[in-house]
């Protein structure tokens, strides 16, 4: 509901008689279901996003914001912001904090601007101090949920209802207006046989093909989430070009492990040393992987495979360095990692290292 702002709500005389009382002229600004979903999204800003410094022991919906410096000569070459905002509300109160300067320069001509200050920093802390103090003795309550709100578990890759093949790590329960609830079941996931040596779709002659649940990338206009670009989970666009005939398959198997340095099939070659001292440490929800480089040359890179204890889904990380970080792991889950060396042209691979596991504590 929208009500025009009023400074005076009521005036009473010395006998407590009402002399004036404002009568709100409310109009409907948006549907209650829309308002609830916007509030739900803004709670995510507080719980997981840029408004984390304003978290209280009650629901908080927030939005941070900054204003760039104006295009004026006095700000040329200067990095900073003109304004920093934090607007947020609980079920009981709303508050907006602004930080900035009324004038672009001081009386002596010095530029006035915010240095390393943004909405989610000091404005959010000020808001928490004021609103947190004002609501300290009030019982916490939730935002009122209208009857038209329903929830459903969706496939985060497609935005549609989950299918039997949708991996658990790509499902999420979301709220919807009951009139906008997705009705289609996601069809992007499929079981694909992959050649473990080349990474392409397996032919009938590939030895020991691996079955993986992969997805076909939606059209650009259908990428509901930013995770659509995760190429390690997409169905390969190319088919294995090494194991194309029964003879090729026999030849490649005969070459394996002989160490002649000419395994063009991408199989393990004993002349390529497997990385050693492979360790995984944990800091919060980020895993830090390190290993010793046993191969020299600018064309050497490293492939790391990661999988979960309860899932057959594999993620591949590629790097040219001797360490890498894997961020945003899920709490309460165990992850396994293994590494191998590979030439940049994919002509030779080392053997995989032994798996190393790390468990993220539950929250």
With 60 as the cut, is the pLDDT of residue 253 above it? no
With 60 as the cut, is the pLDDT of residue 121 above it? yes
With 80 as the cut, is the pLDDT of residue 278 above it? yes
With 80 as the cut, is the pLDDT of residue 90 above it? yes
- Same domain flag for 105 and 50: yes
- Same domain flag for 130 and 157: no
- Same domain flag for 159 and 116: no
Of 21-30, 60-69, 318-327, the poorest mean pLDDT is in: 318-327
Q: Say if 239 falls within a structural domain.
A: no
State the residue range of the domain holding 171. 149-186
- Same domain flag for 62 and 86: yes
Q: What is the mean pLDDT of residues 66-70?
A: 92
Mean pLDDT (the chain, rounded) = 85
Q: Say if 350 falls within a structural domain.
A: yes
Residues forming beta bridges with residue 317, ordered by sequence position: 304
With 90 as the cut, is the pLDDT of residue 197 above it? no
- Winning range, highest mean pLDDT, from 109-113, 168-172, 215-219: 109-113
Q: Say if 26 falls within a structural domain.
A: no
Q: What is the pTM of this model?
A: 0.58
- Same domain flag for 70 and 120: yes
Q: What is the pLDDT of residues 255-270, one digit of tens each?
A: 333 333 334 444 555 4
Q: What is the pLDDT of residues 235-252, one digit of tens each?
A: 888 898 888 877 444 333
- Same domain flag for 307 and 276: yes
Q: Say if 226 falls within a structural domain.
A: no
Q: Say if 170 falls within a structural domain.
A: yes
Give the CATH number, domain containing residue 357: 2.60.40.10
How many folded domains does the chain comprise?
A: 3
Of 35-39, 102-106, 254-258, the poorest mean pLDDT is in: 254-258
Q: Say if 182 falls within a structural domain.
A: yes
């Amino acid at each position: 509901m929208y009500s025009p702002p009023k400074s005076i709500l009521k005036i009473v005389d010395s006998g407590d008689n009402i002399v004036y009382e404002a009568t709100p002229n409310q109009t409907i600004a948006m549907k209650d279901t829309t308002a609830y979903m916007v509030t739900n999204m803004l709670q995510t800003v507080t719980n997981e996003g840029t408004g984390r410094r304003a978290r209280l022991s009650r629901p908080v919906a927030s939005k941070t914001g900054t204003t760039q410096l104006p295009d004026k000569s006095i700000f040329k070459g200067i990095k900073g912001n003109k304004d920093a905002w934090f607007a947020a509300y609980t079920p009981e109160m709303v508050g907006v904090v602004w930080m900035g300067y009324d004038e672009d320069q001081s009386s002596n001509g010095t530029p006035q601007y915010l240095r390393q200050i943004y909405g989610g920093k000091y404005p959010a802390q000020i808001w928490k101090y004021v609103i947190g103090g004002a609501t300290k003795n009030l019982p916490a309550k939730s935002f009122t949920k209208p009857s038209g709100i329903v929830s459903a578990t969706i496939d985060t890759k497609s935005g549609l209802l989950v299918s039997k093949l949708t991996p658990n790590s790509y499902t999420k329960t979301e709220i919807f207006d009951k009139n906008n609830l997705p009705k289609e079941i996601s069809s992007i996931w499929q079981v694909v046989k992959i050649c473990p040596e080349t990474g392409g779709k397996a032919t009938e002659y590939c030895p020991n093909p691996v079955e993986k649940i992969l997805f076909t990338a939606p059209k650009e206009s259908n990428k509901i989430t930013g995770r659509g670009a995760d190429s390690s989970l997409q169905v390969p666009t190319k088919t294995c070009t090494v194991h194309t005939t029964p003879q090729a398959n026999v030849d490649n198997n005969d070459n394996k492990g002989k160490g002649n340095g000419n395994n063009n099939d991408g199989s393990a070659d004993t002349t390529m040393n497997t990385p050693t001292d492979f360790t995984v440490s944990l800091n919060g929800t980020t895993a830090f992987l390190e290993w010793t480089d046993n191969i020299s040359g600018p064309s050497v890179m490293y492939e790391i495979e990661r999988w979960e204890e309860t899932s057959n889904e594999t993620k591949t990380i590629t790097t040219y360095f001797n360490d890498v970080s894997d961020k945003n792991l899920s709490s309460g889950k165990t992850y396994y990692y293994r590494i191998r060396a590979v030439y940049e042209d994919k002509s030779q691979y080392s053997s995989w290292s032994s798996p190393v596991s790390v468990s993220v504590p539950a929250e």
